[in-house]
Amino acid sequence: MSEDAAEPKLQRVCIPSIGEAFPKIKVKTTMGPISLPDHFAGKWFLLFSHPADFTPVCTTEFSSFAMNHQKFRELNCELIGLSADSLFSHIKWVEWIKEKLDVEITFPIIADSLREISSMFGTIHPHPDGGAIRACFFVNPKGKIASVLFYPKGVGRNIEELLRVVKALKVVEEHGVVTPANWPENEFIGSDVLERPPTDVKGAMAIKDRSGCLDWWFCRKKI
């Protein structure tokens, strides 16, 4: 195979890391200019990207986010959308959703037609078509990225699962514990949480036979 015929190298996508400080940026949104993360100081917020305005899956997602906005707010969590579209496109799309679906979009949407912010957060992927994908960045009240989730274009997100993630992140940070699979409906321990295992022999032996512990590294507790 000649060098010209060789398959092109994959472009590396840079994704912000969990625990990293959310970058300080100024963005244009459907609700005016916003400085992040300062605009949401003292709150959790979820920045979620979508491939494009006026597309079917994204329209159902944004409508569902709006219909569940109050549930996020009850968790002290705000929402902000992002896509590589213009402010004009966002405004028309919000208008269309209100007219056709009777849903009011109650959170800001970042305009990013030059893809500068999308590139910063690694939401433009080279394959299969070089377009934007669905991403979620959960940010804690200290402005640190707490979780990152990516979805392909063809799979709409489950808003109840994103609410569950916010609840779990808050419990983990506020109580210093960890949550099991499917929490708060785990098959073995229900709505209980798990303690972080001790890191030395003395600590392990001290709790090995304690009530609620199957072993020193597997101890449940209620919160």
Active site residues: 58
Taking the C-alpha atoms of residue 6 and residue 204, their distance in angstroms, rounded to an integer, is 56
Per-residue DSSP letters for the chain? Answer: --TTTSPPPPPPPP-PPTTSBPP-EEEEETTEEEEETGGGTTSEEEEEE-S-SS-HHHHHHHHHHHHTHHHHHTTTEEEEEEESS-HHHHHHHHHHHHHHH-----S-EEE-TT-HHHHHTT-B--SSSS-B-EEEEEE-TTSBEEEEEEE-TTS---HHHHHHHHHHHHHHHHHSEE--TTTTSBTTTBT-EEEPPPSSHHHHHHHTTSTTEEETTEEEE--
Taking the C-alpha atoms of residue 139 and residue 45, their distance in angstroms, rounded to an integer, is 5
